[in-house]
Structure 1
């Protein structure tokens, strides 16, 4: 999969490297600011019981 993405990025190797870093940063940002906040209330970790 990573090879497919690398082959489809345009430009020489330095430009591809920058684009790959930006792509990873965009995916991380979507996960941190969109997916994880939406998913957090649906996880059972807030209903912890002790004793």
Structure 2
């Protein structure tokens, strides 16, 4: 395809280089001013939903005095997985 375009551009090497630059600039302008503005409302980049009630990060929605790292009542772990599982033997040194 590019060889076909290069062969069809007129006026020798200087004309072909100028024509190539103009074609590339026209393609960029078409994308920048037509295609991207058309596609922007369809893309979810600005679809931000904040659902936290308080303005303090990490503060529960109801407010109150909580210390970071405190687990809710009845919860044994802060992490949703067990950190002691599969840690019974250290890695072998001959690797």
TM-score calculated relative to the size of structure 1:
0.84
Greater CA drift, 10-19 or 39-48:
39-48
Q: Count how many residue pairs are aligned between Structure 1 and Structure 2.
A: 51
Greater CA drift, 38-47 or 22-31:
38-47
Q: CA deviation at 1:48?
A: 3.5
The 2-side partners of 1:45 and 1:16 are apart by: 39
Highest relative contact order (Cα 8 Å, sep 6+), 1 or 2?
A: 1
What are the superposed Cα offsets for residues 3-44 of structure 1, whole Å, 9 maximum, x if unpaired? 111011111111110011001000000000110001011112
Aligned twin of 2:7: 7
The 2-side partners of 1:48 and 1:2 are apart by: 41
TM-score calculated relative to the size of structure 2:
0.48
Aligned twin of 1:16: 16
Report the RMSD for the aligned CA atoms in angstroms.
1.5
Bigger Cα Rg: 2
